[in-house]
Chain A
Amino acid sequence: MIPLSSYLVLSAVLFFIGVVGVLMRRSIIVVLLSIELMLNAVNINFVAFSHYLESITGQVFVFFTLTVAAAEVAVGLALLIAIYRNRRTVNVEELDVMKW
């Protein structure tokens, strides 16, 4: 029987990899992927707790999260393509128009 803490450690590690990916990587595609990684770290937590607490709610939540994530990726990639068409780059550091 694998203890709960192992799942939590796995989830934390994945989450931090995601955070570091978001903060460090230049490519916007990798940034998006890192966000997915963070979402899935959360999903692991949900499932682990669901099992541990013997409650189905957590697993239901995971499905919602997956759905939303799928939609988000679709929108995100669409935006990404639009940006690429306009700017000819996927480098985050060059996308600094938020400062006008």
Chain B
Amino acid sequence: MMTSYVLIPLLPLFSFIVVGLFQKWMRGLAHLVCVPLVFASFGMSLLAFIDVMRGGPINFDLYEWIPVGDFRPTFGIMIDQLTASMLLLVTLVSSLVHLYTVGYMHGDKGYDRFFAYISLFTFSMLALVMSNNFLQLFFGWEMVGLCSYLLIVHWYERGPATKASLKAFIQNRVGDLGFALGIFLIWVTVGSLDYGTVFAAIGEHQGETVSLLGMDVSVITMIALLLFIGAVGKSAQFLLHSWLPDAMEGPTPISALIHAATMVTAGIFMVSRCHPIFNLSPTAMTVVALTGGFTALFGATIALTQNDIKKVVAYSTMSQLGYMVMACGLGAYTAGMFHLLTHGVFKALLFLAAGSVIHALSAEQDIRRMGQARRYMPTTYWTMLWGSLALSGIFPFAGFFSKDEILWQAFNAGLLGKGLWLLGLVVAFMTAFYTFRVFFMVFYGQDNMDKEVKHHAHESPAVITIPLVVLAVGSLLVGWLGNPLFGTNYVHRFLQPVFHSSVSHVPEEHAGSLPALTATAFAGETDESGAAHEGVPMEGAPMEGAPMEGVPMEGAPMEGAPMEGAPAGMSENAGVAAGHAMAAAPHAAGAAGEHAGGHSRGLEMLLMALSLAVAAAGIYMAYLWYYRPNPAPAQLAATYQVLYQGSLNKWYWDELYDMVFVRPTMRLAHGMWRVADEIVIDKVLVDGVAITTRIGGEILKFFQTGRVQHYAMVMSLGICVIFIGFFLL
């Protein structure tokens, strides 16, 4: 049984080794090795998923890895509910992308290399999600970064691709440095890197501080923020975001697999995985929520005006990742993970469909030179429509459920959450608008294709359309798993054990602060009552050591009991229950906040209708402006020149980074070359040694006369000197 779990990551690794080593002899047949193996990996993930669903988490160590003194990291495998759902997503999307690649990269001279690298990527991503300790997580983290670099630069003879790959690599290094420091700090603080040990012990270190530039910072906040820097880099959050759109220089299957569905979600996965740490630090949580919210807005505003089909999808990915991070920051990890899963499906679909369009239109990526494409490619048209509807959050599609889950959790999460909810609503409008802007410009609108391009326009082959259809069906169905309206919310029920039971006891002095975010969820509508609960001195309460598992706070009442009851009754209940939960475990409060969703179904329905209306409005606006040629957008752009230019130029962050980081670095490097390298090393050290030797020789050669008597003289004098020295000194 254990073997089958180990094989999940090893099969892709095997195909990487085979294809990588024997690349020269593959001659475009690499898919015969890679595709079946990755599908087998998917099948085993499915089995593992079922095992976890039936029997709970699996966790075992394979072997001890680089033991040094007390530091004995292991290589292990842990498949809990969180990992199991990631496994399904990663292997499913990877399988479909493998299949798609067969058609998309057909005839490319790097075909086999490409397959080798996506197999390696699949292995790395699986190692990342299946790890049971931080070091292995870091290993996977770095490996996916490397694979991302290798795949972006697949067409290495293209200048922009090499630049984009370097940018991605370097920006990721910045994030990874923070991540590594966070792991170091965990090791220093807890003395272990094993998830279980760390999460069990981290609560004891509350109140401890570390010195940062002379200031004392709570060690847990420090760890959480450092880890989050890693997530910022990997998930392209604001400040380390600009690599993701540039990464679109890579082939489209990569954009779908790495830069939409899997690698970029590693940050969200990691934050969710480390929720016992994040939950203990309200400061870090606020930072996470704000970063996520801002990134969502930031990405959406840029996506509005981009003209490259892949860039639009890339910015929308950034924006959607912002949603997920925001959800994590509000403690709604389940909602974040749910959106991660649905987004993985429909965003992969959108990218692959966009790739299909690009493929059909002879590598044209500019949506201004497309139009009326539905005539040539009906399958792509339909699947892309489904994907766009899902991304916009239209009712029966996946994005609707997951996005509304996040918005609903935000709405329930105090004042900050309310603000973020409003922001999320604005972003939802923009999302619907730009998604359908692209859709209409590509498939309807004016026919702006070149004659030559149009002549070759064709529907893509079956290996491309089959993955599209599978993903389209997926993006219709996945959302229903987390449907809050009818029946059970399977996603919640499945993920619940992960987010509820990893930390059993938490000192109470901290309890007051985090629930500030979620208190309103319990206490009803008003902020004052939330504040009141917060203010109640909990220290005296006898639940300090109360075993959290024993209190049926999280499991039973939240899930089993009918929450549909009157909000008033709930408030009363919450007054008592929330007090317990907050005092004993803030994280439980956060988690319970997610489940409080049931208590005012009417309100939830209302908000759903609202966000649906907002999305529909966005689509309608796109329809008005782009379904037929319409001068309105151009006029608007001319009127608000500043905003338009800002959005079109990505708010000039690239230019800013260029000015602040790139140019000074280049200048420094140039200076180092001129001074340190050319003068100090070349002239002083290398040439200096030669000159000294030569001059030394020139001087010493006068002492070598070739006359025996001179040598004898020197010897005699030497003996004299030794004697004199011996007797006198």
Contacts and interface: CB of A to CB of B under 8 A. Distances in A.
Interface stretch (B103-111, B682-690, B705-713): B705-713
B708 A95 contact: yes
Nearest to A25: B709
Contact of A99 (B706, B709, B712, B713): B706
Contact of B716 (A19, A31, A95, A100): A19
B678 to A, nearest CB: 39
Given A19-B716, A23-B716, A98 B709 contact: no
A93 B713 contact: no
Interface in A64-100: 92-93, 95-100
A22 interface: yes
B388 to A, nearest CB: 89
B254 to A, nearest CB: 69
Contacts of B713: 23
A24 B716 CA distance: 13
B707 A92 contact: yes
Contact of B707 (A22, A24, A93, A100): A93
A96 B716 contact: no
Contacts of B706: 96-100
Which has the most chain B C-beta neighbours within 10 Å: A23, A93, A97? A23
Interface in B671-729: 704-709, 712-713, 716
Contacts of A22: 709, 712
A92 B705 contact: no
B578 to A, nearest CB: 100
Nearest to B716: A19
Contact of B708 (A19, A24, A98): A98
A99 B716 contact: no
B716 A92 contact: no
B32 to A, nearest CB: 72
Contacts of B708: 92, 95, 98
Contacts of B707: 92-93, 95-96, 98-99
A96 B707 CA distance: 5
Interface string A14-41: 0000010011100000010000000000
Interface of A: 19, 22-24, 31, 92-93, 95-100
For the complex of A and B, the 5 pairs showing the least CB-CB separation, nearest first, are A99-B706, A96-B706, A98-B706, A96-B707, A23-B713
28 contacts: A19-B716, A22-B709, A22-B712, A23-B709, A23-B712, A23-B713, A23-B716, A24-B709, A31-B709, A92-B707, A92-B708, A92-B709, A93-B707, A93-B709, A95-B707, A95-B708, A96-B705, A96-B706, A96-B707, A97-B706, A98-B706, A98-B707, A98-B708, A99-B704, A99-B705, A99-B706, A99-B707, A100-B706
Given A22-B709, A98-B707, 19 more contacts: A19-B716, A22-B712, A23-B712, A23-B713, A23-B716, A24-B709, A31-B709, A92-B708, A92-B709, A93-B707, A93-B709, A95-B707, A96-B705, A96-B707, A97-B706, A98-B706, A99-B704, A99-B707, A100-B706
